[in-house]
Amino acid sequence: MIYASDFRKGITFEINGEPHVILDFQHVKPGKGAAFVRTKYRNVLNGATREEAFNPNDKFPKAHIETKTMQYLYNDGELYYFMDQESYDQVPLMQEQVEDAMLYLRENDMATIKFYKGSAFLVEPPNFVTLKVIETEPGVKGDTATNVTKAAIVETGATVQVPIFIEEGEIIQIDTRTGEYLSRAK
């Protein structure tokens, strides 16, 4: 159990049997009246965010989120299969669970999968990935204004804004948290 007075950013707890993560908190002790904890938290299963004030003595069960690094194997048209590197167990996931991560994952790439009570609820690609540009328009010679970008489609199907000097076939590095081009890969 965790008391509301122990809330900190990133702590997971349960309300009504659902896991939540604390995004922001503030311990408030007004001049008159009882102290309280103003809290902003997000449901980790559906992403709903809520703000609420709690009594510092309120108790909540701690939510145990399990994190595993797994290898993306393949897609059979309906399910996406990931393999645990230690036990070699395969976990099939629906498209809704993986669609954001799949913009940056190729077969055999590693991904972080978060589980709550044995069921996966979030797939995260690595923070930085190296992918090949498969389609982009050629850069216009003489167009050297600063920060000029163009759209490029990489091998996973993601569209990334890249500088005009990037051409088809080049390998680029992308920050998956923002979807931004970082640099040419070496």
CATH superfamily of 65-124: Nucleic acid-binding proteins (2.40.50.140)
Q: How confident is the model at residue 138 (pLDDT cuts 50, 70, 90)?
A: confident
Q: How confident is the model at residue 45 (pLDDT cuts 50, 70, 90)?
A: confident
Question: What span, in angstroms and rounded, lies between the C-alpha atoms of 9 and 22?
Answer: 5
Q: How much of the chain is helix, strand and coil, in % rounded to 5?
A: 5, 55, 40
Provide the residue ranges of all domains of the chain, joining segments of one domain with +. Answer: 2-60, 65-124, 128-184
Are 2 and 21 in contact, with CB atoms under 8 Å apart?
no
Question: What span, in angstroms and rounded, lies between the C-alpha atoms of 95 and 99?
Answer: 6
CATH number of 128-184: 2.40.50.140
Q: Which of 6-10, 44-48, 78-82, 145-149 has the lowest mean pLDDT?
A: 145-149
Task: Give this prediction's pTM.
Answer: 0.73
Q: Give bridge partners of residue 131 from the DSSP assignment.
A: 172
Per CATH, 2-60 and 65-124 having the same topology is answered no
What is the architecture of the domain spanning 2-60?
Answer: Roll (2.30)
- In a 3-state reduction of DSSP, which class is residue 27? strand
Give the model confidence (pLDDT) of 83-135 as tens digits.
999 999 999 998 888 888 899 999 999 999 988 888 888 888 999 999 999 99
Question: What span, in angstroms and rounded, lies between the C-alpha atoms of 101 and 69?
Answer: 13
